[in-house]
Chain A
């Protein structure tokens, strides 16, 4: 069981993160932002940064840190907001999101000074790189854990499965893939675009699979991730987290229109108002 204080803390952080996400997305203006895929994984990313992962914002290159790799790089607003709320990135940098000359583009760009481990967003590659990183840790006999956030739509990529089979062959039990199963990808519902059994697929590729029914509930997320982190049973761990696309903003929740979009002032005010009341 996860204690109440931890759950309370993560929920508070999620509230800040969602506010950051909306602020940055609104600042992007006509350049638009991927709101839905950031809001679906907010609790997952917050649980990692504020409880599960061993890391130190004052020393981003600390060798013993656990690693977070956001393979679904388009959901970077969740990542950036966690880095902001952890102290890796100054809060005033929010206004630079997607702006000219920005260090916070629409997909993460490797920046170790600010806690961004790798460049990602070309789907499939982040996960495959993370598996290589996890293998390197094994070679060097280091004990930290690699948490890689993968999109459910991203699992359409062949490269995911090339890397998945290699990870199980190499017994990467220091690797935890979290599949953000929010059910919506760019052009529609994942079940309409490419319907297949994710759970069976990950199992077939040799991963130990846990289905997390409440993928936006910090108590369940923390318990599941900490268990996965402790397992060193020769198998990589896949957590299939059922989440809600656009979670926390009523007009975005489950919507096919907010995978990415441009937010107008009225929508912004409504979103801020909803977050304040939550």
Chain B
């Protein structure tokens, strides 16, 4: 972070997660000889052109062959390199679920998978290009860590944290051009340790990925109405930060989990599974894309329809407190 200026953050905010990822991987490749990056015919889309040109011996395009992308990456890891596979969220965890499970998770390899355009960012391209189920798929795989960074600096820090973490990591990237900045200054990004952005006693919002900005706005609107609202950035969906959840169970009246993902198997499910082990916990509502294919439109249209914008989140809290 030392060299991430506020100008850079503004540039990244304007550009969105692909550029942040491409530049961060480039920095890692510069700093570490063992970093290898592979993709499946997405080099320009994933902003990997500069890595391809400057590190040709450590960059690979395997062609439109995602299953092999994962196994090839696994093989690089078996021999001690630090490989990153980069591809589309709509394709990779689903089509390559078995390769991620058998070739990465089962052998507990030090391999990283980064998905771009998770959720419904690819709006106009239609449902074939939406990733509403990737957290659900990867969450079933033992040993995998799942990171869903919420803003430009978080994306950068999540990728570096994944590089420093021994074991398989899935990084789910949301947040396109106009990616709101939440973290304006350096902060401590620790895998498995959620960040409490705002204290509050009534509702606790637990958000993952780019919906955090909407969540913060919802909390601010509620505060203005006298409803005390807590906001937690659960950037690590697996393993969950159970300490912070324990405090939510003890201190808050209502939990709203927020994610650009299906209501099945994502952050909401993960929290509910943990919560199921306790009695007298607050009620939980899962704000998500629901359990359905979406009506096609741009990102704003779909997430508004799903009730993921700040006014809807605030109304949801008000109606259920």
Contact A135 B107, CB 8 Å, known A165-B63, A170-B60: no
Tell me, in angstroms, the Cα distance from A130 to B74 when the chains sit together. 9
Nearest-Cβ distance from residue B39 to partner chain A, whole angstroms: 12
- Whether, in the assembled complex, A137 has its beta carbon less than 8 Å from a beta carbon of chain B, the answer is yes
Q: Which of B57-83 contact A (CB under 8 A)?
A: 57-58, 60, 62-63, 65, 67-68, 71-81
Interface size on B, residues (CB 8 A): 26
Give the distance in Å from the alpha carbon of A137 to the alpha carbon of B75 in the complex.
Answer: 10
Q: A128-B75, A131-B72, A135-B75 are in contact. Are A159 and B67 (CB under 8 A)?
A: yes
| Binding-face segment, B4-12, B98-106, B158-166 | B98-106
Chain B: minimal CB distance from A19 (Å): 31
Query: Which B19-43 residues have C-beta < 8 A from chain A?
Result: 36
B103 contacts A129, CB within 8 Å?
Answer: yes
Q: Which residues of B contact A139 (CB under 8 A)?
A: 36, 57-58, 76, 81
Shortest Cβ distance from A68 into chain B, in angstroms? 13
A124–B71 Cα gap in the complex (Å)?
10
Q: Which 9 A-B pairs have the closest CB atoms?
A: A132-B75, A128-B71, A136-B79, A162-B68, A162-B65, A132-B72, A133-B75, A129-B75, A136-B76
The A108-147 residues at the B interface (CB cut-off 8 A) are 109-110, 117-119, 122, 124-125, 128-137, 139-140
Q: Can you name the residue of chain B whose Cβ is closest to the Cβ of A138? A: B57
9 contacts across the A-B interface (CB closer than 8 A) = A118-B107, A128-B103, A129-B71, A129-B74, A129-B75, A132-B75, A132-B76, A163-B72, A166-B68
Q: Report the bound CA distance from A15 to B108 in whole Å.
A: 36
Q: A124-B67, A139-B81, A159-B67 are in contact. List 19 more A-B contacts (CB 8 A).
A: A119-B106, A125-B71, A125-B98, A128-B99, A129-B78, A131-B75, A132-B76, A132-B78, A133-B78, A133-B79, A136-B75, A139-B36, A139-B76, A159-B99, A163-B71, A165-B63, A166-B62, A166-B68, A170-B60
Report how many A-B pairs have Cβ atoms within 8 Å: 93
Do most interface residues of chain B lie in helix, strand or loop, or is the interface mixed? helix
Q: Is the CB of B107 within 8 A of A110?
A: yes
* Complex contact A163–B68 (CB within 8 A): yes
Residue pair B107, A119 in contact (C-beta under 8 Å): yes
**Neighbouring B residues of A134 by C-beta, 8 Å:** 75
Whether B102 and A166, one on each chain, are in contact in the complex, defined by CB atoms closer than 8 angstroms, is: no
- Restricting to A155-169, which residues have a CB under 8 Å from any CB of B? 158-159, 162-163, 165-166, 169
Do B68 and A159 have beta carbons less than 8 Å apart?
Answer: yes
A80-123 interface (Cβ within 8 A of B): 109-110, 117-119, 122
Tell me the nearest residue of chain A to B71, going by C-beta.
Answer: A128
- Is B103 in contact with A125, judged by CB distance below 8 angstroms? yes
- B57 to chain A: closest residue by CB: A139
CA distance A190 to B78 in the complex (A): 32
The smallest C-beta distance from A63 to any residue of chain B, in angstroms, reads: 9
Complex Cα–Cα for A110 and B73 (A) = 17
**CB-defined contacts of B62 to chain A, threshold 8 Å:** 162, 166
Contacting A at CB under 8 A, from B74-95, are 74-81
Of the residues B68, B76, B80, B102, contact of A122 by C-beta under 8 Å: B102
B71 contacts across to A, CB distance below 8 A = 125, 128-129, 131-132, 159, 163
User: Chain B residues with Cβ under 8 A from A169's Cβ?
Assistant: 63
> Least Cβ distance of B302 to chain A in Å?
32
Residue of B62, B71, B75 with highest tally of chain A CB at under 10 A: B75
CB neighbours of B67 from chain A (8 A): 124, 128, 158-159, 162
On chain B, the residues within 8 Å of A135 by CB distance are 60, 72, 75-76
| Contact between A125 and B99, CB atoms less than 8 A apart | yes
Q: In the assembled complex, how far is the CB of residue B101 from the closest CB belonging to chain A, in whole angstroms?
A: 9
Do residues B80 and A136 form an inter-chain contact, with CB atoms below 8 A?
yes
* B72 and A128 contact, CB distance less than 8 A: yes
Q: Which of B77, B79, B81 has the most CB of A within 10 A?
A: B79
Smallest CB separation, B131 vs chain A (Å): 21
| Residues of B with C-beta under 8 A to A118 | 78, 107
CB distance from A183 to the nearest CB of B (A): 27
Which of B57, B58, B78, B99 contacts A117 (CB under 8 A)? B78
Most buried by B among A131, A137, A170: A131
A165: chain B residues at CB < 8 Å are 63, 65
Q: Is the CB of A136 within 8 A of B60?
A: no
Question: Hey, what's the 0/1 contact readout for B104-126 against A, CB within 8 Å counting as 1?
Answer: 00110000000000000000000
Q: How far is the CA of A139 from the CA of B58 in the complex (A)?
A: 7
CB closest chain-A residue, reference B104: A129
List residues of chain A with CB within 8 A of the CB of B75: 128-136
